[in-house]
Structure 1
Amino acid sequence: MSTNKKAYIAGGCFWGMEDLFRVRPGIIDTEVGYIGGDNEHPTYRNHPGHAEGIEITYDPNVTSFKHILDYFFRIHNPTTVDQQGNDMGSSYRSAIFFQNDEEKAEAEEVISIVNNSQRWDGEVVTTLEPYSKFWPAEPEHQDYLLRKPDGYTCHYERFDQPFI
């Protein structure tokens, strides 16, 4: 029986987030898609209200939800509303999609730690949203930067040291 868990986050263009998370210790799988929006069966061209998100499957014996969030806050700017790099709009919002009260409490705790660190110039604007259905993106968006290593990304490690 698998003990793997899933986490759902959004922090701008899903290509860059997936590329950085895929190689983290304890990460079993990543999939990009759409979450938190208004329509069923969203597509890249039609996903009103959905964020470009990532589904992370992880081994809780190797990493934790809090450690995933710690890294999340180091690879994108959580202080900009609906924007990462050149990408603007609610599709590119910073969001954590919690699946239960424990994840919500852990997300609130990590946000507090990040804010108290004062490493970012502003306050975290990452939204905490209840998990809704995750819709996988089209095949051409999966593993995009593996197939196109020179493709666009605005994600990189901004801080070497963890927050937690």
Structure 2
Amino acid sequence: MEQARLSVATLAGGCFWCLEAAFEQLEGVVSVFPGYMGGHDPRPSYEAVCRGDTGHAEVVQVHFDPAVIDYETLLTAFFTIHDPTTLNRQGHDVGTQYRSAIYYHDDAQRAKAEAMIARLNGDGVWSAPIVTEVTAATIFFEAEEYHHQYFRRNPYQGYCMAVVGPKAAKLRQVFANRLKTG
């Protein structure tokens, strides 16, 4: 597939292991890279991000074929697998590095993200208002290699069994007709 035909979405919704494990299952998603965005440190490391020293959020950068899956479907999946109403928190993961954020790459993505948040708030989908940031994408710092495909390589690790697995399973249930085959 030609790279020129691919689009990019960058999303933060807690631990990047959860987001990667969920999004990589979707048909039309070509690759998912864990990383960091939105901070001030020019060389963030996992340890510094986890300490909250860098201002970065844990993110995934999703490369997708818009002819197969559109941005709105990715946003719907995003809002399905995390709680966008908790500020700087997903479950027991607490800190600004776990914030809910959509880092848009163009004005169309910004408009779609803002419209979806307004619709979800208006429909009362959540019992509290959505606090997801919608902000322009900045430099993406790819996470260290050992974070890539973490859930696939460590399915029986405690956090993976308790947190990552259920989120990936929820996506499979809700998006059963949009999953990759094979």
TM-score normalised by length of structure 1: 0.93
2:71 pairs with one of 56, 62, 65: 65
Amino acid at match of 1:99: H
Q: CA deviation at 1:150?
A: 2.3
State the alpha-carbon separation in 1 of the partners of residues 109 and 22 from structure 2.
22
2:18 pairs with one of 16, 19, 31: 16
Cα deviation code 1:50-73 (max 9, x no counterpart) = 000000000000111111111100
Q: CA deviation at 1:23?
A: 0.7
Between stretches 47-56 and 111-120, larger displacement belongs to 111-120
State the alpha-carbon separation in 2 of the partners of residues 65 and 123 from structure 1.
22
Structure 2 alignment gaps of length 5 or more: 176-182
Matched length: 161
1:145 pairs with one of 140, 146, 151: 151
1:82 pairs with one of 85, 88, 102: 88
Identity over the aligned pairs, expressed in percent?
Answer: 35
| Contact 1:73–1:114 (8 Å) recurs in 2 | no
1:43 pairs with one of 38, 42, 45: 45
**Which residue in 1 is equivalent to 2:180?**
none
State the alpha-carbon separation in 2 of the partners of residues 10 and 91 from structure 1.
9
Between stretches 70-79 and 112-121, larger displacement belongs to 112-121
**Which residue in 1 is equivalent to 2:174?**
160
Cα deviation code 1:89-135 (max 9, x no counterpart) = 00000000011111110000111121123221111000011110000
Moved over 3 A (4+): 158-161
Amino acid at match of 1:31: F
**Which residue in 2 is equivalent to 1:91?**
97
**Which residue in 1 is equivalent to 2:34?**
32
> Which structure has greater helix proportion?
2
Q: CA deviation at 1:32?
A: 0.1
1:123 aligns with 2:129: yes
What SS class does the counterpart of residue 61 from structure 1 fall into? coil
**Which residue in 2 is equivalent to 1:136?**
142
**What is the RMSD computed on CA atoms of the aligned residues?**
1.6
Cα deviation code 1:14-60 (max 9, x no counterpart) = 00110010011110000000000011121101231000000000000
